[in-house]
Amino acid sequence: MSEEENNNSTTTSTDTANQAAQPAESPTQTAEPTSNNLNGLTANLLNLKESNPKVFFGAIGGVVLLIGIIIVSGGDSKPVISSAPKNLVTGQKYTLKNPNAYEVASPIRLVSVPGAIAAYDDSEDDTKKEACRQIAQGTSITLTELQDAYTKKNVFGKIRIEEGECQGTEGWVLSIDIQ
């Protein structure tokens, strides 16, 4: 190999080493424009503060307001308020009262099978009214049995009427109607 070829190969390897060193300098060059952008943004904000303070402080107030709304509207650790389940005891005396009825005189339906309450509604059909199946609110009763339904405990209660012309009649009502 001649001297000239050796010099050329040395020059080529030096050029390759210089090219490999250049990418290492690139991140430094990339960081400079980012800091220039931040300096430019800061300068623009300070310029806005001097030239139009209402817009500047309004924008700051808007950001603070948004952050405040996000903080305040977070989840609440309090449990949802719901009606407490009644501790009904079989053998105890209660009265019938429908808490969902607006009309005080509305009767409570007494059925022979729990769950049949939703099966039909003949409250307005006089020809289908059976004796002692429409019980007035305030009637004294004795709770004889409880029935679970729909994955809830004590949804229906079997009652025996203790007063009036239907005394001794038994049937099922919703437990919410037993007060």
- The pLDDT value recorded for residue 144 is 92
| H helix or E strand, kind and range, residue 33 | helix 3-51
- The pLDDT value recorded for residue 67 is 93
- The pLDDT value recorded for residue 111 is 83
- The pLDDT value recorded for residue 160 is 93
Nearest to 176 by CA among 144, 140, 146: 146
129: left (phi over 0), alpha (psi -120 to 50) or beta: beta
Tens of pLDDT, residues 127-151: 555 678 888 888 899 999 888 888 8
pTM over 0.85: no
Which parts of the chain have pLDDT scores under 50? 17, 21, 24-26
- The pLDDT value recorded for residue 34 is 66
- The pLDDT value recorded for residue 114 is 80
Tokens found for residue 152: 């809830």
- The pLDDT value recorded for residue 39 is 81
Q: Which residues lie closer than 8 Å to 120 by C-beta, 6 or more apart?
A: none
